[in-house]
Structure 1
Amino acid sequence: MSHRNDIEQLFRTHYLAMHRLAMLILRDEDVARDIVHDVFESLLTAGLTDVSAQYLLRAVRNRCLNHLRSLSARERIKELYAIDEREIADDEWPDDDTIAQIHSTVANGLTDACRRVVELRFTDGKSYKEIASTLGISEVAVYKHLRHAIDVLRLKLSQNG
């Protein structure tokens, strides 16, 4: 089989799982699709055809995380809360009340471990790897703590919105 046919077979076999992972992380259909396509484009360019499903999923996860890191703080907030641009006025959100509610929820609505991860990530600007090293936990645990915090914040803000 040719290199291109091998890539097409990988695409047919693994696209759905890769896209699902990208959607879980990004919650943006267009960006998720683009990232998965970029992974396959890089395979095609590099001439790689003998890759595992784990490799493909890791590549998607890493590209998603790189995409999130590249966003400004304001864009990150919008991404994390899945906010539609039409729902907010640029100069008015997040307002002081929303910021106070976020801080209160982080201080009082999260476990100590989860709160510490959030503080290291968003206050100190540390990477997942740095947080994992500082707290002596895995990067996956860091991700799970952040995901939990985001879910708690999303729920709290939607209840009071």
Structure 2
Amino acid sequence: MKHEKTDIERLFKRYYQPMYRVARSILYDCDECRDVVSDVFAHVLSEQIVLLPGTEEGYLVRAVRNRCLNIIAHKDIRERTAKLLLADAETVLSEQDNELLDRLMQMIENLEPPVRRQILRLRHLQGLPFQRIADELDVSRVTVYHHLSEAINSIKKQLNQAGQ
């Protein structure tokens, strides 16, 4: 254990700044960059990854870059989903305000199976990431994405039918 702690401390002291600079050049958010770098070190430590001399910097920098790109992709999915919901919500609110808003809430309440309703709430009301939802519900990320997609499609379909 002492050896692991010493090794991770050495890696941290030596590569934190280059890793942070890579994250900063991609994300532009100091707190998020620190989180990404910390996550990479935590992953190396928890998975007991052995880095060979000469490959350490390359592995760590690539890991930071990949995590940053995943964050950006995740944000892109979240923004697209929000735009879909907002586009429908604007239609609802511009038509008959409270009555249609109540119907929208009822549509969400009636989503089946219940896990679909739960995933929609966790994702859009609590803002949880796909992986955390998957972990909490003990399902895969693909299952989370599938249920979220189906929930949005179902709500859109019902809104379109109500508008006809």
Q: State the TM bucket, normalised to the shorter chain.
A: 0.3 to 0.5
User: What is the TM-score with the length of structure 2 in the denominator?
Assistant: 0.46
Identify the structure with the greater helix proportion. 2
TM-score by length of 1: 0.47
State the structure with more CA Rg.
2
